[in-house]
Structure 1
C-alpha cells in the first residue's frame, strides 16, 4: 500500500475546478525506496508543462484537465489520469506501480481516460484529444 502525503485532495479539486487556471498535478515518490507519494507540482501550462516535469528515471502519477471541442457549444473539460514509468525506472519500482495506482485512484476518482505512459511520445496532445472525444460518446464534428 502506498501512502499519500500532502494536500493531494485539495490539488485534485483545484484541477477539477473550472474557475481556476490550475490544469494539472504531479505525484512523485518521496525517494527511491519509499512507498510515499507526495504532491510535487501543479501548474497552469497544460500538457506541455506537465510533460516537462516528468523524469526518465522516476515514476509518477499525473492528473490533467484538458478542454476539447471546436466551438462554445461543444467545449468540455475532460480529465486524464497518467501513470508515468519512464524508460530508466528501476524494475522493482515498475512492479509496484500497478499496485499503487489503486491507492492513487482512491483520491483521483473522476477521469475520462487513463494513460500508462513509458515515454513522452505516449503523451501526444492529438492522440489524447482523440481518446477524450471517443470517451465523450456523441461526436458531432465527424473528425473522429
Structure 2
C-alpha cells in the first residue's frame, strides 16, 4: 500500500473540500509513514453518524495498492472501521483527536481478512510534525 497527499477539491461529503482540512506532506518508507503540515479544525456534519466525530481534525490520505484490498483503522472513539482500498483512491479521511501524534492502519488482501483481523500489514503513521490549528 502506498500513502500520499490527497487530491484537491470536494471531498464528496457535504461542502467540505480537501483544502479546508489543511495542508500536509506525506512521506513513506516501507510501512512507516510520516505526515507533516497543518490540520484545521473543521465542522463536518456529513462526516459521521456519530455526533462526536462531526467536528474536529481530519487527515485525508490517498491510498493505492492491490486490487481488492481493504484497510482498517480506529476512529477517535476507538471503533474499528474497515474500508475498501478502492474507496480510498481519491482520499481516505481519518478523524483525529486534537494533538494526536500517531496512529496505525492495517492493509489486508481481502474483505474477509480485514473483517476477521486476520494477518495484514500494519502501517505506522507518525504525526509528530503536524500542527493542529484552530
Higher RCO (Cα < 8 Å, 6 or more apart): 2
Q: TM-score, normalised by structure 1?
A: 0.29
Greater strand content: 2
Q: TM-score, normalised by structure 2?
A: 0.30
Greater helix content: 1
Largest Rg, 1 or 2: 1
